[in-house]
Amino acid sequence: MSVFLTKLPFYAKLSNLSNKNNITSVPSKYLSRLLLLTISTQSNINHHQYKTFSTINYEVNNRLAYITLNRPEVLNSINDLMPKELSECVEKANNDPSVHVIILSGAGKAFCSGYDLTYYAQTKTNNAVQEMPWDPIKDYKFMKKNTEYFMSLFYSLKPTLCKIHGDALAGGSDIALCCDIILMANEARIGYMPARVWGCPTTAMWIYRLGIEKAKRMLLTGDKITGIEAEKLGLVLKSVSQEELNTEVEKLAQRMATIPINQLVMQKLMINQALDNMGLRTTQMFATIFDGIARHSPEGLAFKRRAENLGWKVAVKERDLGTYDWTADASIEIKNEHNDNKS
């Protein structure tokens, strides 16, 4: 319970505890019980619109917090600010006694297309690649911070549901897979294509969701798969038609929202600790370091040069089709009738 109170320091804001004298007059051994009882019975069903972040939209309605990635003009691609604002919104929802469940989605045509490659790959001056010789620990600190921001969804005391439409690719898949439960549109796509060159999924959630063989199937190909296949692999809870997606997510979230917050927190902490005991943090440490190596390897630098010289769309197409030898830094011709299926 001490963890819960540390994460949710809002007792002074509760209406029936608004008088500071009331708080100090309650014996300490009963205070935590009183707070948890008040929190779990809180049923604020009013709609709240909070200040608009630069990259996120945050709203609360009927016990649900809605966090929406809000850069639709670039398919919600990740810039330097989005990971931090995402974490701030998760914290806001955890600190709100009216919120029981968090729903994460994306505005516009997609959930999230990954990191903004116009900035990170195509532009010559940015944080993605250092001047040589590079400092791997400096790179690790930068990427570890983003990993921790994404993982705020996993370590959120309150349940997090992810609603995927359109694409959830590369860094966008990192964000989605940090959520507790994912529902996906049938035709939506998810994948980590930088596994082919220039990346390693820093959150490493593929292995914990899929197991050894299926995680290798995804990361040793860098393929994108639809919601239907993602459900078959066990990567997401459910795949439904685009028309049914909102209804299915709302139905599940509202079902959870009828449960007291303290019960939701206890169940989630109990389940999450199993992954921590399996070495989740250690795996993420290696994955984040490997991600830095992938961007500074000879092949990674070749990809970066290609993106700078020809544009990231050309480099990404060559990466995903397998028509470029990044080690030789030269185009190759692969006669494979299945190539078209990987675009």
Q: Do 319 and 265 reside in the same domain of the chain?
A: no
CA–CA distance, 119 with 121 (Å, rounded to integer): 6
pLDDT, one tens digit per residue, over 20-29 is 344 344 444 4
Q: Do 136 and 192 reside in the same domain of the chain?
A: yes
Q: Do 50 and 86 reside in the same domain of the chain?
A: yes
DSSP 8-state class, residue 326? T
Q: Do 37 and 127 reside in the same domain of the chain?
A: no
Q: Do 121 and 241 reside in the same domain of the chain?
A: yes
Q: Do 15 and 88 reside in the same domain of the chain?
A: no
List CB contacts of 248: < 8 A, sequence separation 6 or more: 183, 238, 240
Q: Do 1 and 65 reside in the same domain of the chain?
A: no
Query: pLDDT value at position 335?
Result: 67
Q: Do 37 and 49 reside in the same domain of the chain?
A: no
Structurally, the chain folds into a number of domains equal to 3
> Please, which residues bridge with residue 169 across strands?
191
CA–CA distance, 234 with 227 (Å, rounded to integer): 10
Domain limits for position 329: 298-342
Q: Do 14 and 118 reside in the same domain of the chain?
A: no
pLDDT tens, position by position, for the chain (343 residues)? 333 333 333 333 333 333 434 434 444 444 444 444 334 334 444 455 555 799 999 999 999 999 999 999 999 999 999 999 999 999 999 999 999 999 999 999 999 999 999 999 999 877 789 988 999 999 999 999 999 999 999 999 999 999 999 999 999 999 999 999 999 999 999 999 999 999 999 999 999 999 999 999 999 999 999 999 999 999 999 999 999 999 999 999 999 999 999 999 999 999 999 999 999 999 999 999 999 999 999 999 999 999 999 999 999 999 999 999 999 999 997 666 555 554 4
Q: Do 236 and 107 reside in the same domain of the chain?
A: yes
Q: Do 322 and 333 reside in the same domain of the chain?
A: yes
Record the pTM. Answer: 0.83
CA–CA distance, 79 with 82 (Å, rounded to integer): 6
Distance of CA 150 to the CA centre of its chain: 5
List CB contacts of 235: < 8 A, sequence separation 6 or more: 177, 182, 190, 206, 209, 210, 214, 225
pLDDT, one tens digit per residue, over 107-150 is 999 999 999 999 999 998 777 899 889 999 999 999 999 999 99
Residue whose C-alpha is closest to residue 90's, from 153, 178, 176: 153
CATH number of the domain residue 245 falls in: 3.90.226.10
Of 291, 309, 326, which residue is a domain's last?
291
Q: Do 51 and 94 reside in the same domain of the chain?
A: yes
CA–CA distance, 46 with 315 (Å, rounded to integer): 48
